Each structure stands twice: as C-alpha cells, then as structure tokens.
C-alpha cells in the first residue's frame, strides 16, 4: 500500500506565547522533526502543512527537502491544513498528525494503516468515546470531499468531516498492546508540557 504522512504545522501556538510551535527546539531539534522522524521510515512521502508562505519559508530553512502544503482558507483550523495537505498527497492513504506529538509510535501508525484498508478512515477511540482524529489514517479522496463540504458549511471542528466517513474505530486496548503507556498520543501545548519531556526521543 503506497502511503503518505501529513504533519500539521499551521497552528499559531497561542498557549506557547505565539511562538512557532513546530520549530520549538527540544533537545537541539525542532519539535516537528520528532513526528517526521517517527513516520518517514514507513511512508513514501512526508508533507508538512503550513498556514502561509511566510511560515513555509521559515519551515524550509529549518527542514529543507520536504513537500509543503499551504492553507487556502484562513481561520479554519486543522481542516484547512488537512485539505491543503491531501490536495498535494500522491497516495491513496495518508496518516495525519499534529506537529506537537514528539513520541509517535511507528508501530501504532502501521496498525492504523492496516485498519484503514477498505475504509475511509481509521481513528483511535478512547474508552469514553473520545477520538484522536489528529493521529489517524484517512483515505485521500473521501476525506477531501467531506472536508470541502465541511468548509463550505463553515464547520471548523475536525470531526465534522471525519464522522461522515466510513470510519474503522481502533480501540485503545489494541493500541496499548503496542504502546502500553500510550505515549504516541502525547502532545505539547504549554511550557509545562515541554518541561516534562525527558532527554532524548
């Protein structure tokens, strides 16, 4: 199965003092590089979604050589980044993740690709029903279609297009067998989160 990964980097980092979250340095590396490093060995291409050309130039200076996708819609949140990224994606299935997830587990991503085969998406689901749509695999064309429709309706929440797909929900028990601590879902939103990251990756 040819496959892609899309890392969403367009957020404005409001809880981190409006610093460029994707490029925050952790142990000498940009935060986004941890997510990229986790997936680039198991996909055929990595795409970075950015909000505009100014941010794109900044990302290129730190991470040259990656395909960039630029938002076509302002203030639409991650749905705009997903639409832009899938628009340049060359493969049928794409893993989508936020740039602030430094401990993505490649084996969990492999599982999600397997679970997505024949479905519009494979999305992790917690015991309380909470979903992880920004650590999930999508079939390109259905997700583009439903994301375009969501944007037309001015629906900015990521679940707006996702829940209109044929979703294969992946329970946490199955993911825990691969990643017992579920570190793959850890994200960085505040300076306190950054301080909790141990040395190394």
Class of domain 3-195: alpha beta
Domain locations along the chain? 3-195
pLDDT value, residue 20 = 80
- In 17-35, which positions are buried (b, 16+ CB within 10 angstroms) versus exposed (e)? eeebbbbbeeeebbbbbbb
Quick check: helix, strand or coil at residue 73? coil
Integer-rounded Cα Rg, in Å, for the chain is: 16
By the 8 A CB rule, do 55 and 30 touch?
Answer: no
What's the sign of the alpha-carbon dihedral 46, 52, 57, 59? Answer: negative
What's the sign of the alpha-carbon dihedral 118, 119, 121, 124? Answer: negative
Tokens encoding 152: 């037309």
Tokens encoding 30: 């940009």
Tokens encoding 138: 């999508």
Q: Give the C-alpha separation, 82 to 137, whole Å.
A: 12
Helix axes 31-39, 106-116, angle to 10 degrees: 60
| Mean pLDDT per 10-residue interval, the chain, length 201 residues | 92 58 87 95 96 92 94 88 96 96 96 97 97 98 97 93 98 97 90 65 38
């Amino acid at each position: 199965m040819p496959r892609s990964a899309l890392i969403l980097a367009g957020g404005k980092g409001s809880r981190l003092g409006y610093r460029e979250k994707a490029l925050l340095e952790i142990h000498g590396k940009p935060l986004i590089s941890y997510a990229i490093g986790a997936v680039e060995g198991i996909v055929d291409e990595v795409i970075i979604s950015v909000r505009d050309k100014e941010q794109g130039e900044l990302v290129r200076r730190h991470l040259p050589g990656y395909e960039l996708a630029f938002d076509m819609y302002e203030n639409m949140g991650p749905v705009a980044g997903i639409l832009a990224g899938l628009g340049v994606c060359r493969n049928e299935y794409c893993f989508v993740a936020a740039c602030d997830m430094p401990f993505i587990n490649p084996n969990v991503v492999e599982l999600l690709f397997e679970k997505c085969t024949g479905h519009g998406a494979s999305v992790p689901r917690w015991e309380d029903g909470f979903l992880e749509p920004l650590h999930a695999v999508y079939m390109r064309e259905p997700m583009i279609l439903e994301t375009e429709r969501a944007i037309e309706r001015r629906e900015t929440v990521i679940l707006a297009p996702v829940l209109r797909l044929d979703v294969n929900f992946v329970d946490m028990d199955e993911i825990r067998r691969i990643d017992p601590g579920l570190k793959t879902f850890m994200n960085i939103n505040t300076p306190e989160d950054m301080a909790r990251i141990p040395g190394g990756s």
